[in-house]
Structure 1
């Protein structure tokens, strides 16, 4: 399921202009963030408004590591570990709730992380962020061109998607879906539902951290906005538009969000958010289960 599209994506820079390649790189990064959020929303049934907290932690961790130690892929390892630790701490509290309470707790986590990024200037650069992040280096070669950066991001995008795919379709994934459908029943069957949800929360946070590390490598800049509510809301919007519970739906939603906000918005005098809102209304009205689920229903009928 992943190999075919990956081969097509791998050949994209050979036919695209540098700007289009850079845009596609941003789509891959944001798509990985949206897909990690869908593990919570579509598989476990836990909608989050603070998922960008782990995305931002990964970005800051990778940027700081690249600037002070090494610009190799080890910076991504640090990003994943940092995001996993933060998600473990936050999830230990958040997964004990559900519904609106879970939503508000994750929102609070996101706001706390944004405030920390904004005020801890000695580490995060404060409101200016961390800029001039060194480009990744592989075997002595600096990855700083649009095509090479794209392939670097694509490699780890595929790795992250494989992890999410395994987490959602393996035996633990079936347990997660059972918790989503009826947590009380799963608890009665003897499953430790709190630990199960915490495990999913940590996996989703770790993959979001990987996406954040890729953002630092591609953008070479990390700011508190990358941790904030707007990023979380856009990721959730991508999941809803693309369709929950589908491995490619959130990626499609992420592509639409990036294209409408960044490319179409520039051509209509900066009204990208307005166009994005109109698209969201149309999708919810015409395809309430998202684009991926709409296609699935049409195939069945």
Structure 2
């Protein structure tokens, strides 16, 4: 008698269909949001999308490569400055500013990564922080280009054809489409043999080296790819708030992105997006109603997640996407 495929494969297939259904429902709800939300709420949701893409790009390093970074916002900010500068001095027509943001983020990550990936552990953590501080100091002192401590302001609204996206609903759909594209790029990377190699390096780098892989080269490629997607998120930030400041590439932004990855669950892509939405909700929406104690609430949420949900939101039992993630791991 011929033995067929193992019984767990149909279960994974069902989980895949459920995960796909959840993703479609989430995208549909995000696309329909401007019809039901007030302009301020729509703007907050758009900002969540931007920060979610930043967190997902950081997860490529933290969750899939095992490289926790405290300076990832540097490439986010570089992309934002590049997009803003191009929109002011050249053209705000899409997708030119976003392409400039992606290239700028990738180049900045390539320069920093050539040094950072030679280290690991706490040394990598501190080196990425130091490099990001250098980039922030450049942004604060290069006033003719970045506007210095005042920031780069007066960024024109992004244009598609002859239409300027001044309406918050149109801008939300534009950001949503670009974020989906960025997440699709990240997903294609982690689902490819390249992603499998990154997970192998994360789990056992000496063994990967012993079978012929060059971990430094793969980590460098992941670093540049994450920087490029973070640059894309920065370009969307410039389009959304039409102002870029040195704080956008500072330590606080990097720490919040890492916090979103931890809360959502590293190694999942969708988990950091959920964590980013929670961070922005507490910081921007609830913070004003808590007498400025939003950071305190974020700290309490972080402590609760570390003790109650070590794998973050993605590790909650009962969620179809969480079960599928645990099965893959």
Q: What TM-score do you get using the length of structure 1 for normalisation? A: 0.97
Aligned partners of 1:36, 1:20: CA distance in 2, in Å? 25
Divergent runs of 4+, >6 A = none
Q: Which runs of 5+ in 1 are unaligned?
A: none
Q: Which residue of structure 2 lines up, in the alignment, with residue 62 of structure 1? A: 83
Q: Give the corresponding residue for 2:265.
A: 243
Shift of 1:85: 0.7
**What's the secondary structure of 2:119's corresponding residue?**
coil
- Equivalent runs, 1:85-124 vs 2, <5 Å: 85-124=107-146
Distance in 2 between residues matched to 1:56 and 1:232, nearest whole Å: 10
Distance in 1 (alpha carbons) for counterparts of 2:65 and 2:88: 37
Are positions 1:255 and 2:277 aligned together?
Answer: yes
Matched, 1:183 2:216: no
For 1:151-230, what aligned pairs fall within 5 Å after superposition? Answer: 151-230=173-252
Q: Are 1:135 and 2:129 counterparts? A: no
Deviates more, 1:1-10 or 1:159-168: 1-10
Q: Distance in 2 between matches of 1:257 and 1:296?
A: 23
Q: Radius of gyration: which is bigger?
A: 2
Please give the secondary structure, in 2, of the residue aligned with 1:135: coil
CA distance in 2, matches of 1:295, 1:220: 40
Q: What are the superposed Cα offsets for residues 135-189 of structure 1, whole Å, 9 maximum, x if unpaired?
A: 1000100011110110010010000000011111111000000000111111111
- Distance in 2, Cα, partners of 1:107 & 1:209: 17
Q: Deviations over 1:244-285 (max 9, x none)?
A: 011210010001101111111111111111111111111111
- Match for residue 27 of structure 1 among 45, 48, 52: 48
> What corresponds to 2:300 in structure 1?
278
Cα distance in 1 for partners of 2:223, 2:315 equals 24
Q: Cα distance, 1:3 vs. partner?
A: 4.3
Aligned to 2:4: none
Q: Is residue 7 of structure 1 aligned with residue 61 of structure 2?
A: no
Question: Per-residue displacement from partner, 1:182-221 (whole Å, max 9, x unpaired)?
Answer: 1111111111211111110011000000000000000000
Gaps of 5+ in 2: 1-19
Structure 1 match to 2:57:
36
Rounded to whole Å, the distance in 2 between the matches of 1:197 and 1:296 is 33
What is the TM-score when the length of structure 2 is the normalising length?
0.89
CA distance in structure 2 between the aligned counterparts of 1:161 and 1:119, rounded to whole angstroms: 33
Matched residues in 2 for 1:56 and 1:243: separation? 24
Across the aligned residues of Structure 1 and Structure 2, the Cα RMSD in angstroms comes to 1.4
Shift of 1:15: 1.3
Structure 1: how far apart are the matches of 2:124 and 2:69? 7
Q: What is the total number of aligned residue pairs between the two structures? A: 301
